[in-house]
Amino acid sequence: MNQNRINIIHIKNIKNILKNTKFFFDFKFIFNMDAIEKQEIVNDIIKKRRLTYSIEISDVQGNKYTVLTNFGSTIVYIKKGENYFTEEELKKN
């Protein structure tokens, strides 16, 4: 398991522990969830699209995800329901 995945798991565990713990004082714990959320979206796109190459999210606008592939090309995926479609696929329908 790579180090980034371990860190994500630890952060999620800490967040869940803090969420389910009652404190006698006001406790604010701030996470930068952007990196974690982006990684979860990347994993979801790769799994549901069955991609054989790696991607990195460069922009998010609502349910529209602009990704950069390891080949250097840019693809825009739009989430509809539980699936991700390219803009071209949606234009055809």
In three state form, how does the secondary structure of 7-55 look? HHHHHHHHHHHHHCCCCCCCCCCCCCHHHHHHHHHHHHHHHHHCCCCCE
pLDDT on residue 82: 92
What does the block give as tokens for 69? 């592939």
The pTM score is 0.62
Instruction: Look at 91 and 93; give whichever has higher pLDDT.
Output: 91
pLDDT on residue 34: 75
pLDDT on residue 89: 92
Length of the chain, in residues: 93
| Residue 48, pLDDT above cutoff 90 | yes
The full set of domain ranges for the chain reads: 3-92
Do residues 92 and 78 lie in contact, with contact meaning Cβ atoms separated by under 8 Å?
Answer: no
